[in-house]
Structure 1
Amino acid sequence: MTHNNQNGSLIVIGGHEEKEGKREILKEVARRTGSGRLVVMTVASHEPEGYYDTYAPVFAELGVRETREVYVNERSETASEELLSCFDGATGVFFTGGDQLRITSQIGDSPVEQRINEIYASGGVIAGTSAGASAMCETMLVTGSGRESSRIGDLRMAPGLGLIRGVIIDQHFAERGRMGRLLGAVAQNPRVLGIGIDEDTAIVVEGEQFSVLGSGAVTVLDGSTVSSSNVADGGRDTVLSLFDARLHVLAAGNTFDLAQRRPSVPGARE
């Protein structure tokens, strides 16, 4: 299981990251953006007013020299030279929250997505919070029950941007009780590693590893050890059963090897 073979990094945020005080997650986005431009993508929201105004001053305080907002109201706008010029000199992209399906339907396989991939390939940072986090996957969770028992027919998934492959990401994980739907997603294809990210928590992906940053936890569900499930035989309203899935819970400072599917504590002996 690998993510895209690119030179850049991904910062995948579980939502409601701290915007006052320590702001360590947004500080990391700013640090990795460096002296270049940061493009703030508000495309996930049907009502983007306020998103950019919230983030732009925070990033300015954290040392980002220049930010630009990109909002796509109609897919045809993604070929606009004026819009594409916002990416000139950019070394970072930040996706705000909203609806992940709006991100993919508006910019998937478009000149905007191409520019984002170019920034990533050239060593830039691509970050996303909430819906912006889910959209980074090859396959993304769109809907599914949270606090109820997971039923086989509850989940709806769709193709994502494919910035990270072989994983499926859920956000607001502990706060919205989303263990059931992540289990359901992994049960449908145990090849995919399930990653649930709490609020004010992020994973920083570089190469085949990620590290955890923030105040919450990251839950990793590995379905490669699953011995049995009822996904193939049950009806839509059947409660999911799943045996022998492997679970890891990681806190700030812990790392995870995506290729080996193993967590670690930096400095600890193997």
Structure 2
Amino acid sequence: MMQTPKGTLIALGGGDDDGLISLIRSELCSVDSHIEVITTATLEPMESGQAYKEAFEELGCSSVRFMHIDEDNEADKPDNLARIAKAEVIFFTGGNQLRLKEFLGGTQLHQLMQRRYLEEEITIAGTSAGAAAMSDRMIYEGYGSYSLMKGEVKTTDGLSFIQNVFIDTHFTERGRFGRLAHAVTKRPQFIGIGLGEETGIIIKGGNHVEVFGTGVVTIMDGAHVRYSNLDEVDEGDPIAIENLTMHLLVEGHEYCLSDRAFRKLSQQKKSTSPKV
């Protein structure tokens, strides 16, 4: 039986992330909480890190730092390990999620994050690439109508804070329906979660997915697919799928991963949900 994580995951679909920062500050940490911003995904780490530091500080947070891990800055420096060991919030910026896999995946620092997420009540948050990399598999390629051609959608290992989920970002704005449908059909044990911009999810206990923000979260479930031609057609040919299940969630709704169930939150719970 898999261990139920004590930590909380927050994933934003990209776009303006002021609401995400306000949510973290108002709901999940105090002004004294240690916040570490991981800028590995971006090619402008100093600018991005400083901007997030200032954004959290404007809300009163007094202990915000950022670290950049890349080919010139190894993950497992003693100072990095010490900082992540006491962080109460770990925030991954946007950029290119493949950089997170390349420079962070499998390191001692990564393993420390995973262990703390399982065993402690910490928050791991991310936007855009930082959200897409949270699961054990992440989509990194597949564009527009081409994503409905066999072989055009690429996935690889993610950071594995949660299993059997694909998180796709900028979902409606960049027309990523096809690639999430393709990925879920190829791996029906996975649930696809498509996040629109300025819209995100809070995952508690590795299971309950609650929506926040102004847009729509798309859930794709391939467990009941009766037929697809993925095993029959050649690379580059269009794919056919029968009975792929889809749900659209907005704020005030949640999805339970374990029983693949859509739920409307009670009015009482909605009233305490963060507004972003």
Q: Same fold (TM over 0.5)?
A: yes
Following the alignment from structure 1 to structure 2, what is the Cα–Cα distance between the partners of residues 11 and 39?
15
1:81 to 78, 81, 84: 78
Which is worse superposed, 130-139 or 45-54? 45-54
Alignment of 1:212-223 (within 5 A): 212-223=211-222
Check 1:182–1:18 CA distance in 2 against 1; reply closer, same or farther (3 A cut). Answer: same
The match for 2:141 is 143
Following the alignment from structure 1 to structure 2, what is the Cα–Cα distance between the partners of residues 141 and 118?
24
Following the alignment from structure 2 to structure 1, what is the Cα–Cα distance between the partners of residues 72 and 100?
10
Following the alignment from structure 2 to structure 1, what is the Cα–Cα distance between the partners of residues 2 and 230?
26
Which is worse superposed, 60-69 or 214-223? 60-69
2:98 to 85, 97, 101: 101
Which is worse superposed, 88-97 or 55-64? 55-64
The match for 2:28 is 32
Following the alignment from structure 1 to structure 2, what is the Cα–Cα distance between the partners of residues 135 and 3?
20
Letter in 1 for 2:246: L
The match for 2:256 is 257
Question: Number of residues paired by the alignment?
Answer: 263
**RMSD value over aligned CA atoms?**
1.8
| Structure 1 residues not aligned, in runs of 5+ | none
Check 1:60–1:72 CA distance in 2 against 1; reply closer, same or farther (3 A cut). Answer: same
Alignment of 1:96-245 (within 5 A): 96-120=93-117, 121-148=119-146, 150-207=148-205, 208-245=207-244
Letter in 2 for 1:27: S
SS of residue in 2 equivalent to 1:77:
coil
Taking every aligned residue pair, what percent have the same amino acid on both sides? 33
Question: Quick check: 1:43 aligned with 2:40?
Answer: yes
Cα deviation, 1:1-54, whole Å, max 9, x if unaligned, reads x986210100011011342xxx2x221222313332110000012332311122
Following the alignment from structure 2 to structure 1, what is the Cα–Cα distance between the partners of residues 266 and 55?
33
Does the CA-based 8 Å contact 1:197-1:218 persist in structure 2?
Answer: yes
Check 1:142–1:57 CA distance in 2 against 1; reply closer, same or farther (3 A cut). Answer: same
Which is worse superposed, 151-160 or 112-121? 112-121
Does the CA-based 8 Å contact 2:85-2:112 persist in structure 1?
Answer: no
Following the alignment from structure 1 to structure 2, what is the Cα–Cα distance between the partners of residues 196 and 3?
25
TM-score (norm 2): 0.90
The match for 1:248 is 247
The match for 1:53 is 50
Deviation at 1:76, TM superposition (A): 6.8
Which is worse superposed, 131-140 or 81-90? 81-90
Letter in 2 for 1:126: I
